[in-house]
Structure formats: structure tokens, C-alpha cells
Amino acid sequence: MIAVPAVDLRGGKCVQLVGGDYADERVRLDDPAAVARDWAHTGFTRLHVVDLDAATGRGHNQDVIREILRDATVPVQVGGGVRDESRIASLLDDGATWVVVGTRAVEDEDWRHEMAHAFPGRLIVAADVRERLVVTRGWAETSRLDVIDFVQELSALPLAGVLVTAVHLEGRMAGTDLPLMEDVADASAWPVFASGGVTSLDDMRALEHRGLAGAVLGMALYTGVLDARRLAEEFGA
């Protein structure tokens, strides 16, 4: 299983929010490209970049993303507000290895199918979850779609993976939702990456034991609760 540091972008800065709440920002670093380089130098072999402003309709961080991709020495997956084919193509052209699609991929089955076949093996579908229901639009809207049903639908598409975020635990450093992640991994035909609440090496080992392909980590790394070098040594590749 692989550990994937998150580089969340807001207003041109690298941030960490609790539960995706813009009013509860706990970390702010001025140079996201330097942060991305530091994670690679630490030993991580994959990065997860998210444009929070684009995801929530507050603007975008495209120039910062281009800088991160230009400097990247490891594969990078990029998401946040990706809702049309031109944006997917642009990110791939800029150097993203994978593109993460969420809201539109959840809401528009035809578009999801078309994009998966237009970019086979390059898309990761994000299923952000609160109480096992998929949430969209920067976690502001809760659908009636059960995450297991949704993940099973994705199995027919040529994806690179599925990213499941336990929104109810995001940034709280209280451990992840192991039953949820195990059920999703069992239901998915594609590699599943967990996000939300991963705080310790024991969390990582528990996820690995339950069949997860990787985990995206944020708050625990940025606050030093989790030792980055130890994590990279055990789960860097």
C-alpha cells in the first residue's frame, strides 16, 4: 500500500481544513510547489493535489498546479472542480499522471462513461462520503447515492482507481472509517485509495490489511503527528 501526501490549494497557498470547512483552516503554507518538492524528497513516490477553490466555486489555482507539475519528480494526481473534458486534457498535458473527477462524475452518468473511455486508465473517480452517502460540490451537497452502489457501477469503466474520502473524519485526526473502507475495497474492481482521518502507522496497516491500495494523508503529516520519514519508509512505494 502506498501513502500519498495531499497538497490542498486555497488562494495560492497550501492549506489543511477540518472537515472541508473554510472557516476552520489549521495549516497554511506559502509555497505549495516547495511543499510538493519536500514530500518527494522525503521519500514519497506519489502526490495528491486538490484545487479547493475550484471544487467550491471560489476561483482556481491553475498556475500553482502547473508549477507543481512542472517541478514534479514523482507521479501526481490532480483534482478539484474538474467538470469538463478540456480541463482533464489540460491537466494531463501539463503533466498530471492521473486526474481526479468527483462532482460531475457522480451526477452525470453519461459524462462519466464518456470521459472514462476517452482517457482510459487516467481517471480516478472521487466518492466523497458522509454516513455512506456520496457528497458533491466541495462536500456541500449530500446525494441519496449509497457509496457501495456507486462503486459497483464504476467497475465497468476503465479507471485508474477510486478515491473514497470519509468526510465526517477529514482533518480530525481521529482515525479512519475502517468498515467503510473495507466495504468499498471489497465492492470495487479498481484500486481504492482511502482519505479522511488517517493518523497513524497502525491506521495505514489496518487499511492495508483490508485491501486498500493506498491512502491520502494531510493533517497528520502537516502537524507532525505522523512521522513523515517513517511513513515514507514503510509506505512510500
Task: Give catalytic residues, as residue numbers.
Answer: 8, 128
Say if residues 228 and 17 touch (Cβ distance below 8 Å): no
User: Per-residue DSSP letters for 184-204?
Assistant: HHHH-SS-EEEESS--SHHHH
Separation of alpha carbons 124 and 204, rounded Å: 20
- Cross-strand partners of 15: 8, 28
